[in-house]
């Protein structure tokens, strides 16, 4: 299977497919952290029209996430319909950045690939009104690791991932990302796909 892993610098999903015998290529503006795999450093939009059997994309979600929705518009306008709200006084460009992010995400939704999964953190309502609701939300604890880090998936011609575990299998589930302190690399450090989720993609979708 020829697999494109778009917007991945960690190499986790790419390597999970490659070690199961697939031809897997990751692409990101950043260099890969796992240099033994096949990585293209550059704009992934230039690779979308190659003949991929499966694409897994992790577009940046800075302006789509529920946790950042308060920065999208003026704090005094939160009760107004979105189109009537003023721009945020501290982040006047945020709405333009949001629109650019939507265009980027839609490029993956519209790519001519038979099967695809697009992954983002929990989106806010405005983002879902533009992108549609995600198909499935997965967590590392669903695949054997006692951690929570929600990943929302928009699936095309792919079955839902089947969890191997339930919350009842653990005494405690850790929210590892929330414990991460501030710093220049915080966003990068928080954005790596969890290894057990990457393995579930490859195990369950690599055999289709």
Ligand X SMILES: C[S@@+](CC[C@H](N)C(=O)[O-])C[C@H]1O[C@@H](n2cnc3c(N)ncnc32)[C@H](O)[C@@H]1O
Binding status of residue 133 toward ligand X by CB under 6 A: no
Binding status of residue 29 toward ligand X by CB under 6 A: yes
Within 13 A of 103's CA, how many CA atoms are on the CB side?
7
Closest distance between ligand X and the C-beta of residue 30, in Å? 5
- Looking at 19, 21, 23, 30, which residue binds ligand X (CB under 6 A)? 30
Answer for the pair 76, 85: CB distance below 8 angstroms, yes or no: no
Q: Which window, 160-168, 174-182, 188-196, 199-207, contacts ligand X (CB under 6 A)?
A: 188-196
Answer for the pair 193, 10: CB distance below 8 angstroms, yes or no: yes
The distance in angstroms from the start CA to the end CA of the chain is: 9
**Secondary structure (3-state) at 174:** strand
How many residues sit in the footprint of ligand X (CB under 6 A)? 17
Smaller CB separation from ligand X, 41 or 78: 41
User: CA-based diameter of the chain, in Å?
Assistant: 54
> Could you tell me the two tokens for 117?
């999964």
Closest distance between ligand X and the C-beta of residue 134, in Å? 15
Binding status of residue 14 toward ligand X by CB under 6 A: no
Residues at the interface with ligand X (CB under 6 A): 7-10, 12, 27-30, 43-45, 58, 60, 191-193
């Amino acid at each position: 299977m020829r697999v494109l892993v778009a917007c991945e610098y960690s190499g986790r999903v790419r390597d999970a497919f490659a070690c199961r015998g697939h031809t897997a290529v990751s692409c990101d503006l950043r260099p890969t952290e796992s240099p033994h795999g096949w990585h293209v450093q550059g704009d992934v939009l230039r690779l979308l029209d190659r003949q991929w059997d499966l694409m897994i994309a992790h577009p940046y979600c800075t302006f789509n996430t529920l946790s950042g929705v308060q920065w999208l518009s003026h704090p005094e306008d939160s009760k107004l319909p979105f189109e009537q709200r003023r721009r945020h006084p501290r982040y006047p460009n945020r709405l333009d950045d949001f629109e650019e992010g939507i265009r980027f995400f839609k490029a993956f939704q519209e790519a001519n690939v038979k099967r695809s999964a697009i992954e983002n953190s929990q989106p806010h309502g405005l983002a879902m009104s533009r992108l549609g609701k995600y198909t499935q939300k997965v967590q590392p604890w669903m695949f054997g690791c006692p951690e929570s880090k929600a990943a929302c998936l928009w699936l095309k011609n792919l079955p839902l991932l089947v969890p191997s575990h339930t919350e009842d299998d653990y005494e405690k589930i850790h929210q590892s990302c929330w414990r991460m302190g501030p710093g220049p690399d915080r966003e990068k450090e928080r954005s790596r796909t969890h290894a057990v989720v990457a393995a579930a993609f490859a195990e369950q979708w690599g055999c289709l």
